[in-house]
Chain A
Amino acid sequence: MIKLRSFHGGVHPPTHKKESTQSPIMAAPLPAQLIIPFRQHAGEAAKPVVQVGERVLKGQLIGEPVGPISSSVHAPTSGTITAIELQQIAHPSALPDLCATLVSDGLEEWGVRQTLSYRQLSSDELQKHLRRCGIVGLGGAVFPSDMKLRHPTVVNTLVINGAECEPYITCDDMLMRERAEGIVRGIEILRHALGTDAVLIGIEDNKPQAITAMQRAVDESSHPFKVVAVPTLYPGGSAKHLIKVLTGVEVPSGKLPTDVGVQCYNVATAYAAHRAVEHGEPLVSRIVTVTGNVEQPRNYEALIGTPFSELVELSVAKADTNRYIMGGPMMGVELPAVNVPLVKASNCVIAASDVLFPPPPPAMPCIRCTRCAQACPVELQPQELYWFAKSHNFGKAQEYDLFDCIECGACAYVCPSSIPLVQYYRYAKSEIRARDHEKRAADLARERHEFRQFRIEREKQEKAERLAQKERAAAEAKAKAAATATVIATPVDPSADTDDTQQMRIDAALARAKEQAATTPPKNTETLSPAQRAEIEAIEERRAHIHELAADAGADDEPPKHSQGN
Chain B
Amino acid sequence: MLSSPFITRTLSVDRIMLRVLYALLPGIALYVWYFGPAILVSIALAVTAALATEALMLKLRDRPLRPFLSDYSALLTGVLIALSIPPLAPWWLPVVGTAFAIAVAKHLYGGLGSNPFNPAMIGYAVLIISFPHEMTHWLSPQDMGHSALSLGQQLHYIFTSTLPAGMQLDALTMSTPLDTLKTQLHLGMTVSDIRDLPIYGRLAGKGSEMVAAGFALGGIYLLIARIIPWQLPLAFLGTLFALSGVFNLIDPAHYAPPLFHWFSGAAMIGAFFILTDPITSPTTAKGRILFGMGAGLLTFLIRAYGGFPDGVAFATILMNMCVPLIDAWTQPKVFGKKGSKR
Determine the distance from Cα of A368 to Cα of B116 in the docked complex, in whole angstroms.
12
Number of interface residues of A (CB under 8 A): 64
Determine the distance from Cα of A325 to Cα of B3 in the docked complex, in whole angstroms.
10
List CB contacts (< 8 Å) of A146-192 with chain B.
167
| Most chain A C-beta atoms within 10 Å of own C-beta, residue among B2, B13, B112, B335 | B335
- Looking at the complex, which of A35-43, A207-215, A372-380, A539-547 is the stretch in contact with chain B? A372-380
The answer to whether B4 has its CB under 8 Å from any CB of chain A is yes
Determine the distance from Cα of A377 to Cα of B113 in the docked complex, in whole angstroms.
24
Q: How many A-B residue pairs have CB under 8 A?
A: 142
Q: Nearest CB to that of A9 among chain B residues?
A: B335
Determine the distance from Cα of A401 to Cα of B284 in the docked complex, in whole angstroms.
15
In-complex Cβ contact of A409 among B4, B73, B111, B334 (8 A): B4
Residues of B within 8 A of A407 (CB): 4
The answer to whether A434 has its CB under 8 Å from any CB of chain B is no
- Looking at the complex, which of A68-76, A106-114, A359-367 is the stretch in contact with chain B? A359-367
The answer to whether A79 has its CB under 8 Å from any CB of chain B is no
Q: Is the CB–CB distance between A373 and B283 below 8 Å?
A: yes
**Contacts A325-B6, A330-B5; is A253 near B334 (CB within 8 Å)?**
yes
Q: For residue A428, give the distance in angstroms from its CB to the closest CB of chain B.
A: 13
Q: Is the CB–CB distance between B229 and A370 below 8 Å?
A: yes
- Looking at the complex, which of B236-244, B256-264, B325-333 is the stretch in contact with chain A? B325-333
In-complex Cβ contact of B337 among A240, A252, A330, A409 (8 A): A252
Q: Is the CB–CB distance between A359 and B336 below 8 Å?
A: no
List CB contacts (< 8 Å) of B178-217 with chain A.
none
The answer to whether A329 has its CB under 8 Å from any CB of chain B is yes
Q: Is the CB–CB distance between B4 and A253 below 8 Å?
A: no
Interface size class of B (residues with CB under 8 A): 35 or more
**Contacts A364-B67, A368-B283; is A418 near B334 (CB within 8 Å)?**
no
Q: For residue A421, give the distance in angstroms from its CB to the closest CB of chain B.
A: 9
Q: Is the CB–CB distance between A365 and B114 below 8 Å?
A: yes
The answer to whether B129 has its CB under 8 Å from any CB of chain A is no
Q: For residue A101, give the distance in angstroms from its CB to the closest CB of chain B.
A: 25
Residues of B within 8 A of A370 (CB): 229, 278, 283
Q: For residue A372, give the distance in angstroms from its CB to the closest CB of chain B.
A: 10
In-complex Cβ contact of A381 among B112, B281, B331 (8 A): B331
In-complex Cβ contact of B3 among A92, A352, A369 (8 A): A92
Residues of A within 8 A of B250 (CB): none
In-complex Cβ contact of A329 among B4, B12, B279 (8 A): B4
List CB contacts (< 8 Å) of B60-113 with chain A.
67, 71, 73, 110-113
Q: Per-residue 0/1 for B1-23: is the Cβ within 8 Å of any A Cβ (1 yes, 0 no)?
A: 11111111101110110000000
The answer to whether B130 has its CB under 8 Å from any CB of chain A is no
Q: Is the CB–CB distance between A422 and B335 below 8 Å?
A: no
Q: For residue B10, give the distance in angstroms from its CB to the closest CB of chain A.
A: 9
Q: Is the CB–CB distance between B3 and A420 below 8 Å?
A: yes
Q: Per-residue 0/1 for B254-286: is the Cβ within 8 Å of any A Cβ (1 yes, 0 no)?
A: 000000000000000000000000110101100
Q: Is the CB–CB distance between A329 and B13 below 8 Å?
A: no
Residues of A within 8 A of B1 (CB): 92, 94, 334, 336
Residues of B within 8 A of A409 (CB): 4-5
Q: Nearest CB to that of B333 among chain A residues?
A: A379
The answer to whether B340 has its CB under 8 Å from any CB of chain A is yes
Determine the distance from Cα of A213 to Cα of B119 in the docked complex, in whole angstroms.
60
The answer to whether A59 has its CB under 8 Å from any CB of chain B is no
**Contacts A240-B336, A253-B334, A409-B4; is A381 near B283 (CB within 8 Å)?**
yes
| Most chain A C-beta atoms within 10 Å of own C-beta, residue among B3, B279, B331 | B3
**Contacts A362-B67, A416-B12; is A426 near B3 (CB within 8 Å)?**
yes
The answer to whether A394 has its CB under 8 Å from any CB of chain B is no
Residues of B within 8 A of A368 (CB): 113, 278-279, 281, 283
The answer to whether A332 has its CB under 8 Å from any CB of chain B is yes
Q: Is the CB–CB distance between A250 and B8 below 8 Å?
A: no
The answer to whether B338 has its CB under 8 Å from any CB of chain A is yes
**Contacts A369-B278, A416-B15; is A250 near B7 (CB within 8 Å)?**
no
The answer to whether A310 has its CB under 8 Å from any CB of chain B is no
**Contacts A334-B2, A383-B283, A409-B5; is A416 near B11 (CB within 8 Å)?**
yes
Q: Nearest CB to that of B283 among chain A residues?
A: A370
List CB contacts (< 8 Å) of A46-81 with chain B.
none
List, sorted by A's number, 7 A–B pairs whose CB atoms are closer than 8 Å.
A13-B7, A92-B3, A241-B335, A329-B6, A369-B16, A400-B331, A417-B12
Given A365-B114, A413-B5; 16 other pairs, CB 8 A cutoff: A13-B7, A240-B335, A252-B340, A253-B334, A329-B7, A334-B6, A360-B8, A362-B67, A364-B67, A364-B71, A368-B113, A373-B283, A379-B332, A379-B335, A413-B8, A423-B3
Binding site for B on A (CB under 8 A): 7-8, 11, 13-14, 92, 94, 167, 240-241, 244, 250-255, 325, 327, 329-334, 336, 352, 357, 359-362, 364-371, 373, 377-381, 383-384, 400-401, 404, 407, 409, 412-418, 420, 422-423, 426
